[in-house]
Amino acid sequence: MSTTALPSRPWPQFMLGMRAFVPLAISIAAYGIVWGVLAGQRGMSVLEVALMSGAVFAGASQFVALDMWEPGNLPILSIVVTTAIVNLRFLLMSGTLYPLLAPLPRSRSLLVVAGVSDEQWALTMGEMREGRGSIAFLLGTTLACWLSWFISTIGGRLAGSLIDDPTKYGFDFAFTATFLALLLGMWKGRIDIVPWAVAALSAIAAARLIEGNWYIIIGGLAGSFAGAVVETMKERRDVA
Amino acid sequence: MSLEAFLTIIGMAAVTYAIRASGLLLANRLPTTGFAAAWMRHIPGAVLAALVAPAIATGGVAETIAAAVVALAFLVTRNLFVAMVGGVLAVYLARTFIGL
């Protein structure tokens, strides 16, 4: 990437966001193909796949919805309620993007958060923690994320029976691998040990005890609360 | 597309957007300094740890080996793509040739 370009300019920032997203887009595409293949097996049409990936744009909830998808006898309310539960974590993610979006008029920022998803949020938060990150960067990651999910799910649906069992190729591990590497990239020092350990342990416990995707929001809230406690205690010690 | 499929997908999209928008609107009313701000700062890492930990904990030997490969690859190269491909390859090789 060019270091001579002014990084504060919107267009270079947008392109920077797009480029930074490429490794994640590959991981998303691997998952999108898997989802598209499964959607075909559940009897979803190409148009339905396109509408769902384009308008819902939330992988985890789309996987859960597939599980409940029965053409001719769709449990509409159950699918919508389950989707809300699986996607509750976006509440935290949109909230943490607020400092970045605060300068925008409300109507604009409400448009920007329509693209909030795990990967583009994680990447942009990583930038914000480094003191970088901008609205244009966020929009670049959003477009890259949306395109990779939209195209790969339709591609998977069209490829259909060519991939019989995607898990045997190891693609199912792409997300865990990506999230793990993203997490390691966020390491700021020993202050992160307690919140990450509390998040991991409470998420593992919650995943065993509670059905669904609650473990993500439970682990995230518990771990970050523990981090705030540790940080506040450290500040008091430093002052005293 | 059937009407029921259309309504289901529109319902999913509406509820998901409502959550994304609410996060932004609620953040407006939250304090920006002190404990709450520290809490917010720690959310990204904690959510990522919460996403990853159960997947690794409930995985088999292949996933554990692959997670170690991802960590090593990332710490050495600092490259997300290398780490991801390394992990997928490791899990594939472990499942195929070692049968873990």
| Residue the block writes with tokens 């990506």 | A178
- pLDDT given for residue A160 in this prediction: 78
Q: Which residue of B has its CA nearest to A23?
A: B81
Would you tell me which residues 11-50 of chain A have a C-beta closer than 8 angstroms to some C-beta of chain B?
Answer: 22-24, 26-27, 30, 44-45, 47-48
Q: Give the pLDDT band (50/70/90) at residue A209.
A: very high
CA distance B91 to A173: 7
* DSSP one-letter string for A101-145: HTTS-HHHHHHHGGG--HHHHHHHHHHHHTT---HHHHHHHHHHH
The token duo for A191 is: 């202050």
Would you tell me which residues 42-81 of chain B have a C-beta closer than 8 angstroms to some C-beta of chain A?
Answer: 42-59, 63, 66-67, 70-71, 73-75, 78-81
Please tell me which of A157-161, A179-183, A210-214, A232-236 the model is most confident about, judged by mean pLDDT: A232-236
For the entire predicted model, the pTM comes to 0.68
pLDDT in tens, A103-137: 999 999 999 999 999 888 889 988 888 888 899 99
Query: Is residue B1 scored above 70 in pLDDT?
Result: yes
Q: Among residues A197, A173, A143, A216, which one has the least CA distance to residue A31?
A: A173
Mutation target to probe the B interface, by most B beta carbons within 10 A, among A180, A202, A210 is A180
pLDDT in tens, A64-113: 788 778 899 898 988 898 788 778 778 878 888 988 998 999 999 999 99
- pLDDT given for residue A186 in this prediction: 80
Domain ranges of chain B: 1-30, 43-100
Domain ranges of chain A: 10-187, 190-240
Q: A94 CA to chain B: closest CA distance, Å?
A: 5
pLDDT in tens, B25-79: 988 675 556 787 677 678 778 888 988 899 899 888 999 999 999 999 999 998 7
3-state SS assignment for residue A160: helix
Q: Can you say whether the dihedral through the CA atoms of B50, B51, B52, B58 is positive or negative?
A: positive
